[in-house]
Amino acid sequence: MDSKSEKLKRNVKKDILSNGLTIITEEIPYVESISINMGVRCGSRHEAPGLEGMAHLVEHMLFKGTKSIPSPSKISELIEISGGSLNAATDYETTVYWCRVLSEKAEESLQLLFQLITEPLLRPVDLELERKVIIEEINSVNDFPNSRADVLLDELMWPGTSLGRDIAGTIETVSNLSHESLVRFIKEKYNSNSVVISAAGNLNHNEVIDIVGPMSETLNVSSDNIFNKINYTSNKPTFIREDRVTEQAHISIGFPGTSRDNEARYALDLLIAILGEGMSSRLFQEIREKRGLAYDIGAGTSHHADTGVVNIYAAVDSKKYNDAVHVISEEVQKLKTNTHIEELDKVKSLYKGRMKLNMENTRSVATWNCNQLLHGSASGFQSPEEFIEKISQVDLENIRNVASQYLSEEDMNVAVVGPVNPHDDPY
């Protein structure tokens, strides 16, 4: 099969086959393993109205048997029998199927991953069974108050949009997904130009092409999968609560963040690490160590194609959740004028060290390379070294600018789950 080849930094090679499928490999000759990611540009944001939860359902159904391997247990056994791992995950914009195996299992592992998307059985009886499994999965999320608080926060921040609902859908939507719509969704969304194969470890790039190329010819070639962009709109703080009989109140706080392609993301990531990354962070020291308001507290960021989220989470005494929200808000606002170079240098070191450690693991390498191509960054493929350089360039002025831009009190959204007093609302 014809392809367009490109040599990238590190020992990384990329080819785009004539049908649009992308293959990227990173050879690490001193290891005995190979990790393979098969990423598809298809997630919950690609679902049409009435198909909420379909992308996640597809992920489940593809493991229920193929023409070559009809038994689900045999699919996992093929990987696990030699100590390997096999799994998948559905996100808002992508679904990724992955395995990590001994290098001598590379060919049969690549074949297995491709069989999942090119020859799934999709038996109606399996659909009815898996529908029940997913409904229980949704129920399990609702059973955990911290997870429920996150779901409520999404609904609060992104009402009526694909970001404002659970990736798995709802019990109602999953119950109504038909076999016909399942088959049609896979045919339309799992097309060759939406698939990225990323492999890292003891491998040969050309051999990967020789294996993948012929198998990919059965995939449809069609236009890129797209979804509607979302603009965050708010001019006042918002709050939602759900009363539950629990020992603690679970708090999820959100601010609108940056997209993946926004250069401000590097400064924002470092800023939020100063705020809530680890036991030396500001939130941990102020909320837990000094005031004893929470056992568990932290903060992080997520980036999408068009927007992003800053999230702060905490579990506190139900009678003190209002105090905790106000103290968290005060700590967030302090970032705008009171951030020090020592803090910035510390979190830069954290990010750099974490990246270097991750790049010693074939799974992390395959995932990094896959994500770079799946998300189609406007700036192109970014190596770990280039990411570290971006982090290194962030200065205190950048930190203060993103604090003022993204952490406005008017954009603070709060969701609380627990035995809360309705008269104690923080707003």
Per-residue pLDDT tens listing for the chain (427 residues): 566 655 555 789 999 999 999 999 999 999 999 999 999 999 999 999 999 999 999 999 999 999 999 999 999 999 999 999 999 999 999 999 999 999 999 999 999 999 999 999 999 999 999 999 999 999 999 899 999 999 999 999 999 999 999 999 999 999 999 999 999 999 999 999 999 999 999 999 999 999 999 999 999 998 889 999 998 777 678 999 999 999 899 999 999 999 999 999 999 999 999 999 999 999 999 999 999 999 889 999 999 999 999 999 999 998 898 999 999 999 999 999 999 999 999 999 999 999 999 999 999 999 999 999 999 765 679 999 999 999 999 999 999 999 999 999 999 999 999 997 766 666 6
Give the Cα-Cα-Cα angle 357, 359, 361 (nearest 5 degrees): 90
CB 293 within 8 A of CB 287: yes
* Residue whose pair of structure tokens reads 């103290």 in the numeric block: 327
Domains 3-216 and 238-424 are alike in CATH topology = yes
User: Between β-strands 294-303 and 308-317, what pairing exists: parallel, antiparallel or unpaired?
Assistant: antiparallel
Domain regions of the chain by residue span: 3-216, 238-424
CB-based contacts of 344, cutoff 8 Å, min separation 6: 270, 274, 394, 395, 396, 399
Q: Is CATH 3.30.830.10 the classification given to domain 238-424?
A: yes
CB-based contacts of 97, cutoff 8 Å, min separation 6: 37, 38, 39, 40, 59, 62, 87, 88, 113, 116, 117
CB 186 within 8 A of CB 120: yes
Backbone φ and ψ of 394, nearest 5°: -70, 130
Entry pTM: 0.94
40 three-class SS? strand
Measure the CA–CA gap between 24 and 26, rounded to whole angstroms: 7
Of 378, 280, 375, 291, nearest in space to 330 by CA: 291
Domain 3-216 is of which CATH architecture? 2-Layer Sandwich (3.30)
Per-residue pLDDT at 7: 53
From the CB of residue 313, how many other CB atoms can be counted at a distance below 10 Å? 22
Measure the CA–CA gap between 34 and 31, rounded to whole angstroms: 8
